[in-house]
Amino acid sequence: MSLLEVNDLHKAYGAFRAVQGVSFSLEKGEMLALIGPNGAGKSTTFNMVGGQTTANAGSVLLNGKPVLGMKGRDIWKRGVGRTFQIAATFASLTVAENVQMTLLSYHQRIFSFVKAADTQYRPEALALLEQVGMAEQADRPCSELAYGDVKRVELAMALANDPVLLLMDEPTAGMAPQERNELMALTRQLAQQRQMGVLFTEHSMDVVFNYADRILVLAAGWLIAEGTPEQIRNDPKVKEIYLGSGLGLETLKEGVPS
């Protein structure tokens, strides 16, 4: 049994078919990349798995148990984490407080945050920050951080519910190449240590080929290819799709514009 089994997932917006029968599985500790041209249905697929979007048909099993149709929060409670951009309103909070917020939310004690944010779950927050290399900056406001460091805090927040599966939709958007590589190297290390599956989208093909164990290619809502980085690099259908979309073959090396 795989950690995640997605079967024949469909989503239409009116007459427009955004996702058309997507099936795949993901193993513990595996880094699985979902790539494809803009509008291919990557985010829609993520959102159906994470419970942010309803599906029209299909099934999603997490450790063999159906989760499709459940609310995002309930899927999160089952151990599906995802990275969200830190809301602007939290920028004034410190690094540690942001992680504590997530821990409080997980333990459903958000109401008590205002009063005792500075102490509740602080050791747990520091432990998570340690894992992403941000413990030393725990007491700085998030507004002061470099962009790459904010991303690491977001990663720590996504780990707060001890996820078995992490969903990362364009985690490195807006990052410089070196920062991207650092974030994905860290993610891969965490995936292996925690035996956590990771499903991610990424525009830099360098990053995809360096850090994915396996790659899924979506085009116009269809899953057109699946395989190792080496198999995908040499897949004629993939080359055709990238050429057909006007992106050019070099995008397989240089990254696809968003």
Residue 18 contact among ligand ADP, Mg ion, none, beta carbon within 5 to 8 Å by kind: ligand ADP
| Beta carbon nearer to ligand ADP, 44 or 172 | 44
Q: Please tell me the distance from the alpha carbon of residue 216 to that of residue 42, in angstroms, as a whole number.
A: 10
Shortest Å distance, C-beta 95 to ligand ADP: 29
Residue 180 contact among ligand ADP, Mg ion, none, beta carbon within 5 to 8 Å by kind: none
SS3 assignment, position 91: coil
Find the binding residues for ligand ADP in span 28-47 (CB under 6 A). Answer: 36, 38-44
By beta-carbon proximity to ligand ADP, the closer residue of 43 and 245 is 43
- Contacted entry of ligand ADP, Mg ion, none for residue 82, CB cut-off 5 to 8 Å set by kind: none
CA distance 35 to 149: 25
CB 19 within 8 A of CB 45: yes
As measured in angstroms, the least distance from the Cβ of 253 to Mg ion is: 21
Phi, psi for 233 (deg, rounded to 5) = -55, -35
Binding residue for ligand ADP, selected from 4, 6, 18, 145, defined by CB under 6 A: 18
CA end-to-end distance (rounded Å), the chain = 34
Distance CA 104, CA 115 (A): 12
Residues that bind ligand ADP (CB under 6 A): 13, 18, 36, 38-44
